[in-house]
């Protein structure tokens, strides 16, 4: 089946860090839905595995005293989709994770693994980036926190050392209060398919004005990306059909799609402008806004 040279199951974060530190070739496995597929297809060779799947302290969805939402990396997509807190406070995330794989995959796949795998098609990435999420990383020298947006360095590259573990995903209260969002995934099939383009928008509106907008795309650049140029241009404007057209016309200047076997660059650009219009429109409507 798989010819590992060694396999260790860690019972705590500290033990996992220690096991990784003991062997520079060791690699973490969580739900295994990316790793085992890569191994099966011979796309990667990991001889030494450290399994963190049973570390209970990494599987949680909670709020701290400041009402920030904190998600453990071992939380499965089924748990995220069924969380009352997430469905109530940040439904754009549960909307996105319900498009991932099928029920069996969602039971095994973890949100931490989705981010750490580092692919631009990670469907949990754009809603979290649109919510200004931060990640906590632990290693032998202690822990550090960084914006999720900066965590992605390139295709399959993330800001993690070999013996480091992502231990928390945090969305602070001010980044989700009074914000409403929408997610759309364009893929060739309705289910069991990887994104050709993923799009998330969250907005805050007030008295017919777009007070704030955060717009993020997956597979529109080598990493999941925010459209900050467009956001800055439309923040504070009156909500109108022209506003949506201007957003759609402006996003090409924020993205860098490429041609791959899934879609040509021009086709992706077409989808990006169409989704920018549609997804922002849906986010405004879910905020109780009208577009006239």
Ligand X SMILES: Cc1cc2nc3c(=O)[nH]c(=O)nc-3n(C[C@H](O)[C@H](O)[C@H](O)COP(=O)(O)OP(=O)(O)OC[C@H]3O[C@@H](n4cnc5c(N)ncnc54)[C@H](O)[C@@H]3O)c2cc1C
Per CB under 6 A, residues contacting ligand X are 27-35, 37, 73, 100-101, 105, 108-110, 112-114, 116-117, 121-123, 160, 165-166, 194
Whether residue 207 contacts residue 174, with contact meaning beta carbons closer than 8 Å, is answered with: no
8 A C-beta contact, residue 247 and residue 234:
yes
Nearest-5° Cα angle at 244, 254 to 174: 70
- Min dist CB 117 to ligand X, Å, is 4
The values of phi and psi at residue 231, to 5°, are -55, -45
Minimal distance in Å, beta carbon 162 to ligand X?
A: 10
Instruction: Tell me whether strands 48-51 and 26-29 are parallel, antiparallel or unpaired.
Output: parallel
Least gap, CB of 34 to ligand X (angstroms)? 3
- List, as one string, the DSSP characters of 62-84: EE-TT--EEE-TT-BHHHHHH-H
| Residue least distant from ligand X (Cβ) | 113
Minimum distance, C-beta of residue 235 to ligand X, in the bound complex (Å): 29
Cα separation of 52 and 193, whole Å? 27
Task: Convert 44-75 to b/e letters by CB count within 10 Å (16 or more is b).
Answer: eebebbbbbbebeebbebeeeeeebbbbbbbb
Residues 6+ apart with CB under 8 A from 286: 180, 181, 182
Distance (Å, whole) CA 59 – CA 138:
15
In terms of CB distance, is 110 or 230 closer to ligand X?
Answer: 110
Coil, helix or strand for 151? helix
The 8-class DSSP code of residue 287 comes to T
In whole angstroms, the minimum distance from the beta carbon of 284 to ligand X comes to: 26
In angstroms, what is the minimal distance from the CB of 125 to ligand X?
A: 8
Work out how close the CB of 136 gets to ligand X at its nearest, in angstroms, rounded to a whole number. 10
Is 215 in contact with 251 (CB distance < 8 Å)?
Answer: yes
**Closer Cβ to ligand X, 149 or 231, answer by number:** 149
């Amino acid at each position: 089946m798989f010819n590992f040279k060694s396999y260790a199951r860690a019972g705590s974060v500290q033990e996992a860090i220690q096991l990784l530190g003991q062997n520079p070739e060791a690699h973490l496995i969580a739900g295994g839905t990316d790793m085992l597929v890569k191994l099966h297809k011979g796309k990667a060779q990991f001889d030494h595995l450290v399994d963190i799947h049973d570390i209970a302290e990494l599987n949680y969805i909670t709020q701290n005293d400041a009402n920030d939402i904190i998600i453990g990396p071992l939380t499965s997509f089924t748990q995220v989709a069924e969380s009352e807190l997430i469905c109530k406070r940040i439904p754009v995330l549960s909307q996105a994770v319900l498009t991932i794989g099928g029920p069996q995959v969602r039971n095994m796949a973890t949100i931490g693994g989705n981010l750490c795998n580092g692919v631009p098609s990670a469907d949990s990435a754009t809603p979290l980036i649109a919510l200004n999420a931060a990640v906590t990383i632990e290693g032998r020298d202690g822990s550090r926190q960084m914006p999720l947006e900066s965590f992605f360095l390139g295709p399959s590259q993330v800001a993690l050392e070999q013996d480091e573990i992502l231990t928390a995903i945090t969305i602070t209260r001010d980044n989700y209060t009074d914000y409403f969002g929408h997610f759309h995934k364009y893929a060739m099939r309705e289910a069991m398919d990887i994104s050709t383009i993923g799009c998330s928008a969250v907005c805050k509106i007030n008295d017919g004005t777009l007070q704030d907008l955060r717009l993020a795309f997956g597979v529109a650049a080598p990493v999941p990306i925010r459209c900050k140029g467009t956001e800055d241009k439309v923040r504070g404007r009156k909500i109108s059909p022209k506003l949506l057209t201007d957003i759609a016309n402006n996003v090409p200047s924020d993205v860098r799609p490429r041609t791959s076997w899934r879609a040509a660059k021009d086709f992706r650009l077409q989808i990006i402008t169409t989704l920018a219009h549609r997804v922002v429109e849906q986010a405004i409507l879910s905020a109780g806004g009208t577009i006239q």
